Amino acid sequence: MPDDVRVVCVTPSHQSPTGAALSLPRRAALMAHARAHDAVLIEDDYDSEFRYGGRPLEALQTLDRDARVFYVGTFSKSLFPAISTGFVVAPAWARETLLAIKRGSDSNVPSPQQEILAAFIREGHLARHVRRMTPVYAQRRDALLEALDGGLRHWLRPVPSLAGLHLAARIADAAQAPRVFDALHRHVPGAQSAAEYSMQPNAPLMAVFGYGVVDADDIRQALARLLRALSR
């Protein structure tokens, strides 16, 4: 990371798009770098509410002793996209400035919606919803991993991930990448190339599968079609 960077945006709990988690030593190193170079960190924790094993690592915000981390989240993943509501846990020194920017840029805050959401959280409904949905998403994730660890392992290798609503898989043979991506586009609607997330030309050869809105049976059927296409 260049020493003159003053704002760093990271997704340490479930990196987008790889799904990898930032290790505790690397989190500590990132915090030390921010401290040494007077930088602030924006921690985007967009979908780590859904975990499928293992103890979650400490958020950067909980490790912060220097008031440098802005912890950002959204309810569009944990509830539904149309809610279009997020939040930020900001250091005390930045709160008045953030409020002034918000007032100056957007005065049409949906107060009733926010009050209802606050009551929904306060009464424990959000926590119950996450507990109820986690096994559902786990089934979809398992269906995806079953196929990737089975016949598709010759073409795609899943990236280890224990959270979130998407899973990435590396292309096993770079020479086969065009064929694999063509088959993905034809047989697995919604699957994306990691290149679609990158501003650089040398993005890793990786496919990204979202399973937030796809039933487990539909995942199995789509990946079975993909396997048949690649096996020809």
pLDDT of residue 108: 76
What value does the mean pLDDT take over residues 27-41?
Answer: 95
Which class for 210: exposed (0-12), middle (13-18), buried (19 or more C-beta within 10 A)?
middle
SS3 107: coil
Beta strands (DSSP E) in 45-149 are 69-74, 86-89
Q: What share of the chain in percent tops pLDDT 90? A: 81
Is 80 exceeded by the pLDDT of residue 56? no
Residue pLDDT, tens place only, 162-202: 999 999 999 999 999 999 999 999 999 889 999 999 888 88
d(CA 215, CA 211): 8
d(CA 82, CA 76): 7
Where in the chain are the domains?
A: 7-123, 127-231
Cis, bond preceding 17 (omega within 30 deg of 0): yes
d(CA 171, CA 207): 7
Q: Is the dihedral of CA 80, 105, 8, 30 positive or negative?
A: negative
pLDDT of residue 123: 97
Return the amino acid letter for 45.
D
d(CA 24, CA 212): 27
Residue pLDDT, tens place only, 94-117: 999 999 988 888 777 788 999 999
Crossing angle for the helix pair 125-149 and 216-231, to the nearest 10 degrees: 20
The CATH architecture of the domain made up of 127-231 is Alpha-Beta Complex (3.90)
- Taking Cα atoms as reference points, which of 139, 198, 195, 141 lies closest to residue 170? 195
pLDDT of residue 122: 97
Is 90 exceeded by the pLDDT of residue 225? yes
Tokens (6 digits) for 68: 């440098």
d(CA 189, CA 70): 35
CATH class of 7-123: alpha beta
Q: How far is CA 43 from CA 35, 70, 175, in A?
A: 15, 6, 36
